[in-house]
Structure 1
Amino acid sequence: MSTIDRNGVTLAYEDVGVGAPPMLFVHGAYCTRADFVSLVAHYRPQHRVIAVDLRGHGESDTPDQVYSVSAFADDLAWLCAQLGVHRPIVVGHSLGGQVALQLAADHPELPAAIVALDSTIAPPDGTGDMLQPFTDAMTTPGYLEALHQFMAVTVLPTDTRTHAAGVLDRMNTVPQHVVASTWINGLVGWDSAPAASACRVPFLYIDHGAPNCDLARLAELCPQLTVDRTDGVGHWALLEAPDQVMSIVDRFLEATIDQGVPR
């Protein structure tokens, strides 16, 4: 692990491997870069790989501040500049996919392509109302119970319970101010439409069949969208079926390189 200081906030990251295009891995809310351990091992022989702990998460600092998709994306752009990372393939899970899309919108010169794995982007109508009870709970003493209830709906009966338990254990360590702000300003408060409309790079959305994304609407906003799907696993495909995820990303990576993304 390496760390870097940004205006008094320590950001933790892993920087391994060599080769182009580089790959930047961005975890989901209340998770850590450890979720990408299988992908890091798979890609590092041929690519430079950077896996980051977003501020407020993992081994990065947890300042008392607003946590938003735009702020996370700005951290990534800054980190890439500090590390000399140019034109990465940005792969994000859940919130990380939202951050990847915002990065492509705010810093169009930076990513060569983006991948969002089961991210809440162009959510179906009514999603906000469905999530409102959880949103209301995030600033109360019962926030962890609400988070655990929400987590339960992201797991399929076929998923391995030990993986889900590990995710919950990590979530339990995230301070409430980070949980609440990331939920309110990131997961449910972020409007994906402007970012999707502004995205000009190849964009892969990996779906698992749950209603996190209105794919038809997203395709209207972002015509270059490519969609693929995992099979038999829920929201935590990175842990449950990393081989599926890597196979999908490999196909996309091969196609984007064929389209002119530099090696």
Structure 2
Amino acid sequence: MKIDSKGVQLHVTDSGNGDIALVFMHFWGGSSATWSSVISLLSDDFRCVAIDARGSGQSEVATQGYRTADHADDVYAVIQALGLKRVILVGHSMGGKTAQLLASRQHQEVIALALVASAPLAPMNFTEEQRSQMRAAYHSRESILWTLENVLTAGELTAQQREKLVADALRVSDNAADGWVFTASREDLRPAAEHLDLPIIILAGEQDKVDPPAVVAHAIAALYPWADVHIIPGKGHLLPVEAPQTVANTLSAFATGLQG
């Protein structure tokens, strides 16, 4: 389905039923499809809503509006349009930064936060050369495959998984890519953490090269000392793809504990 946010048409999937809705946000280079294996394991028990960020997947390419605050506005527009009343925000990587900012706004619908291989609220301190390399990571099928194998994952992907990830990465618009690499990833949103007192769960891949456990501990978990932290052995940055069963089980236990 398509949902409007400030004139931008967002692609949204909505499956399952339940009092609690899990609202999924994807990584830069991904789409709602990044979460498909996790959602298939959860939708019997929970309502699962996944959003293609503007300029990614099947969502419209906006000419502007790629700050973290804009993405947070988009997610809340979806929550309101669907009439969701009890929401757990589930953010992966870039989506995790969005989820943290949205949760800090203290909307009554948002009851908890799940961060999966999340980007921090702090700026990602890359050199200009590193940012240029990031920007080039999804320029071609060859560069995407190299990035998947050498940066984003810690193990073998199936041919089907690779093809889906390549298709998503090739689909990311220039506006969305520039927005993350040169703007949103540079934003310092740490003051937002002061407004967060929700139940929080943090998942990190033991072999994540993008947001390694040490960075997660220092830059994310330290902001939320009450959060439960789970390190997934032998997995990299793409936890929803590399370890869907583990991610689903952890999210299910977390959400079940919030029911009632």
Q: Tell me the TM-score range normalised by the shorter chain.
A: 0.7 to 0.9
CA shift at 1:161, angstroms? Answer: 6.0
Aligned-residue CA RMSD (Å): 2.6
Shift of 1:165: 5.0
Query: Counterparts in 2 of 1:1-263, with a 5 A limit?
Result: 2-121=1-120, 128-129=125-126, 132-136=128-132, 144=139, 148=144, 151=148, 152-156=150-154, 158-160=155-157, 162=159, 163-164=161-162, 166-186=164-184, 188-209=185-206, 210=208, 212=211, 213-255=215-257, 257=258, 262-263=259-260
Residue 137 of structure 1 deviates from its aligned partner by: 5.1
DSSP 3-state at the match of 2:24:
strand
Whole-angstrom distance in 1 between the partners of 2:9 and 2:82: 15
SS at match of 2:152: coil
In the aligned structure 2, how far is the partner of 1:5 from the partner of 1:65? 15
Distance 2:27 2:138 in 1: 18
TM-score by length of 2: 0.85
Segments of structure 1 that go 5 or more residues without pairing to the other structure are none
Aligned partner of residue 60 in structure 1, secondary structure: coil
For residues 61 and 11 of structure 2, the distance between their equivalents in structure 1, rounded to whole angstroms, comes to 11
Give, in angstroms, the shift of residue 92 of structure 1. Answer: 1.3
**Partner AA of 1:144 in structure 2:** H
Query: How far apart are the structure 2 equivalents of 1:50 and 1:220?
Result: 29
CA distance in structure 1 between the partners assigned to 2:137 and 2:53 by the alignment? 24
SS of 2:110's equivalent? coil
Q: 1:26-70: per-residue Cα shift (whole Å, max 9, x none)?
A: 111121111111222222222222111111111110011131111
Determine what percentage of the aligned residue pairs are the same residue. 24
- SS for the counterpart of 1:112 is strand
The answer (yes or no) to whether the contact 1:138–1:179 under 8 Å persists in 2 is no
Partner Cα separation in structure 2 for residue 180 and residue 18 of structure 1: 36
Q: TM-score, normalised by structure 1?
A: 0.84
Are the counterparts in 1 of residues 113 and 199 from structure 2 also a CA contact under 8 Å?
A: yes
Q: Which runs of 5+ in 2 are unaligned?
A: none
Greater CA drift, 28-37 or 245-254: 245-254
Structure 1 residues 25 and 176: CA distance shift in structure 2, 3 A: same
Deviation at 1:164, TM superposition (A): 4.2
Conserved? CA contact 1:29–1:182, under 8 Å: yes
Q: 1:37–1:108: structure 2 CA closer, same or farther, 3 Å change rule?
A: same
Does the aligned pair in 1 maintain the 2:106–2:196 contact within 8 Å? no
Q: Could you say if the C-alpha distance between residues 65 and 234 of structure 1 is closer, same or farther in structure 2, counting changes exceeding 3 Å?
A: same
Cα distance in 1 for partners of 2:54, 2:112 equals 23
Q: Distance in 1 between matches of 2:18 and 2:235?
A: 31
Q: Given residue 4 of structure 2, which amino acid in structure 1 is its aligned partner? A: D
Distance 1:217 1:67 in 2: 22
Instruction: Report how far residue 106 of structure 1 moved.
Output: 2.1
What per-residue deviation string (whole Å, max 9, x for no partner) do you get for residues 167-209 of structure 1?
23321222222211122222x2122422223211111110113
Amino acid of the structure 2 residue aligned with 1:21: I
C-alpha separation in 1, matches of 2:158 and 2:37? 18
Q: Distance in 2 between matches of 1:229 and 1:87?
A: 27
